[in-house]
Chains A and B, each alone.
Chain A
């Protein structure tokens, strides 16, 4: 198919200055692309890890997020005694009414404040979210103004280490433990006891209820029953679907990443084009010679496209290497739905790397098309006379 592979591969590195410059430029573009996309992947992964497929999350009709939802105690009492809910060891239904508050906390190293999600959670709430595990200290005890923070959040905000105290809304809370939420959305939260949160922060109502139906059929029945009960004005969605919906934060980041990549890649494309035009110019006589030997225009065209593709492929791979040290680095952004901090990792997955290299190759092919066309169209005799 490409008998001249060796020729083209070696030719790329003959004019190494412009080749290296082009590869580095492209690597930079790809590194930016990969980093921005890896943020989006990180957010999506965080959301994807959050829900349990067996759980139903119940919020007020019309609420876009848990934070803007209200569930009264009466409503909760109806919900928790619905038939078909799984029970804990003590025979209590697995239903947790949570209170969500957005509080403002100072960041570490005095770099300003940001909103953080404070979740008041019932004991059942922990059982319903097994991905949340204690990694330091102990769980809070109700009534003692105690909180447990995500370890990753504690890394980003002041006064959230075990033993430290922080103040919010006139209430002082002591951090008694740190949890790890397996890169789920809960890694962006602080937890306290639900009823304590209601009294301390003067909130008569809950925000949402998380329940575990006994099985699929029970889940469908409960969902239907809640929606049929018009006075209740609540809706039930699978917990996984709720978090999938929250992934919308990743959308704008993806768009930003793609937009940035497209703009930057136009520059890279011209760099590749320039390099290849120069290369075609310098190799005019070689091209004429190949034609005399019987290579067709099409082989020449494909050969120079190959060079552009290879050049870009190297650039793309190098870009991924540049971005790689950021893999797993945790950072935060403003959640779209709650306007509070979401903590997540840069996630450079093999698929993302493959996409980045493919993107680079497309840029390289586009950039090399015109030079390749020029090479293929060179008149044989005139090109033999070139010096």
Chain B
């Protein structure tokens, strides 16, 4: 059980999507605490609300009711622009589909979040280089996404997620589009981030083998935690 103070506190979190006349309750009164340095895996069947929970914790969606407090900040209370800045400084997001910008090189993709900071070009270069070294791609900096394999693309995406040195890294099925070998590489990097760099990692996955990389696993079922 977590020893350190929780970095994420979710209290009575409910999310309802309105689709025309119908209300879809994606999350129902979720309570959850995540400690700094944890590698939490989030499992559950399709449509159970995993992505929705991840989006709310990462500040890209808002709860219908309840609170989501990340690093002692109630992120539901931030306005659009504050939330954008908050995301830039505090969360790294890894997508299932990588979502690299096709016209930008690996280096430029990783540099993107730093363009919103006050860092000089030289400091940016240093940080981008470090992040790409960490994922083992310092020899691919000038490559465009289409010149990389899926596994390499996802590692660039991880470098982009950690280049601002955020406390929190969230990943939504990051290995869902990868072969098992590349998946192992990616999972290994995420594990090292939590173990060696004390990052808090939250990962949605279907795959029990992937979940085995985490320090704790929770289950969602129809919008509710089951354990």
Interface string of A261-290 (1 = CB under 8 A from B): 000000000000000000000000110111
* Number of interface residues, chain B, beta carbon within 8 A: 25
| Residue B108 lies at the interface, judged by CB distance under 8 Å to chain A | yes
Q: Is the CB of A7 within 8 A of B103?
A: yes
Determine the residue in chain B with the shortest Cβ distance to A380: B60
Query: Among B84, B104, B160, which residue has the most Cβ atoms of chain A within 10 A?
Result: B84
- Is A3 an interface position by the 8 A CB rule? yes
Q: Which B residues touch A384, using CB under 8 A?
A: 95, 99
Residues from chain A with a CB closer than 8 A to the CB of B112 are 290, 293
Which of B85-93, B127-135, B180-188, B189-197 participates in binding chain A?
B85-93
In the assembled complex, A4 has its CB within 8 A of some CB on chain B: yes
**Are B99 and A289 neighbours in the complex by a CB distance under 8 Å?**
yes
Query: Would A285 and B102 count as touching, CB distance under 8 A?
Result: no
Residues of chain A within 8 A (CB-CB) of B115 are 3-4
Q: Please encode chain A, from 349 to 387, with 1 for each CB lying within 8 Å of some chain B CB and 0 for all others.
A: 000000000000000000000000000000011001000
Interface 9-mer from A87-95, A294-302, A339-347? A294-302
At the interface, is chain B mostly helix, strand, loop or mixed?
Answer: helix
Within 8 A of A (CB), among B74-118: 80-81, 84-85, 87-89, 93, 95, 97, 99, 101-104, 108, 112-113, 115-116
Question: Is A11's beta carbon under 8 Å from chain B?
Answer: yes
**CB of B17 to closest CB in A, whole Å:** 10
A380 to B61, CA, bound (A): 8
Which of A4, A6, A293: most chain B Cβ within 10 A?
A293
Given contacts A7-B101, A10-B103, A289-B99, whether A296 and B60 have CB atoms under 8 Å apart is no
Complexed CA–CA distance, A285 and B61 (Å): 16
Alpha-carbon gap, A294 to B80, bound state (A): 10
Q: A138 to chain B: closest CB distance in Å? A: 69
Asked if residues B93 and A3 are in contact (CB atoms below 8 Å), the reply is: no
Contact in complex: B87, A11 (CB < 8 Å): no
Q: Does B206 contact A (CB under 8 A)?
A: no
- A6 pairs with B85, CB closer than 8 A: no
- Count of A-B contacts with CB under 8 A? 59
Interface residues in A1-22 (C-beta closer than 8 Å to B): 3-4, 6-7, 10-11, 14
- Chain A residues bordering chain B, tally (CB within 8 A): 22
Residue of B nearest to A296 (CB): B84
* B55 CB within 8 Å of chain A: yes
Cβ–Cβ contact B84 & A294, under 8 A: yes
Can you name the residue of chain A whose Cβ is closest to the Cβ of B100? A289
> What's the nearest-Cβ distance from chain B to residue A71, in Å?
73
Counting chain B CB atoms within 10 Å of each CB, the highest count among A4, A6, A10, A294 belongs to: A294
CB distance from A226 to the nearest CB of B (A): 72
Q: Smallest CB–CB gap between B83 and chain A, Å?
A: 9
Residue contact B116 to A295, C-beta cutoff 8 Å: yes
Q: Which of B60, B103, B108 contacts A381 (CB 8 A)?
A: B60
Question: Assuming the A-B contacts A290-B112, A296-B80, are A14 and B85 also in contact, with contact meaning beta carbons closer than 8 angstroms in the complex?
Answer: no
CA distance A6 to B104 in the complex (A): 8
CA distance A384 to B113 in the complex (A): 17
B103 adjacent to A11 (CB under 8 Å): yes
A residues near B60, Cβ cutoff 8 Å: 291-292, 380-381
With a cutoff of 8 Å between Cβ atoms, the chain A residues found around residue B93 in the complex are 292-293
Chain B residues closer than 8 Å to A380, beta-carbon distance: 60-61
A7 touches B104 (CB 8 A): yes
Give the contacting residue for A6; candidates B58, B108, B116; CB below 8 A: B108
Would you give the shortest CB distance from B95 to chain A, in whole angstroms? 7
Cα(A285)–Cα(B102), bound, Å: 11
CA of A14 to CA of B115, assembled, Å: 22
Contact across chains for B87 and A381 when beta carbons are under 8 A apart: no
**Are the CB atoms of A381 and B61 closer together than 8 Å?**
yes
CA distance A14 to B101 in the complex (A): 12
A-B contact pairs, 11 of them (CB 8 A): A6-B104, A7-B101, A7-B104, A10-B103, A286-B101, A289-B95, A290-B112, A291-B84, A293-B113, A295-B116, A384-B95
Partner-B contacts on A (CB < 8 A): 3-4, 6-7, 10-11, 14, 285-286, 288-297, 380-381, 384
Extra inter-chain contacts (12) besides given A14-B103, A293-B88, A384-B95, CB under 8 Å: A3-B115, A4-B115, A14-B102, A289-B95, A289-B99, A290-B112, A292-B60, A293-B116, A294-B87, A294-B88, A294-B113, A381-B60
Q: Which 10 A-B pairs have the closest CB atoms?
A: A294-B88, A3-B115, A10-B103, A289-B99, A296-B84, A293-B113, A294-B87, A294-B84, A380-B60, A292-B93
Residues of B within 8 A of A (CB): 55, 58, 60-61, 80-81, 84-85, 87-89, 93, 95, 97, 99, 101-104, 108, 112-113, 115-116, 160
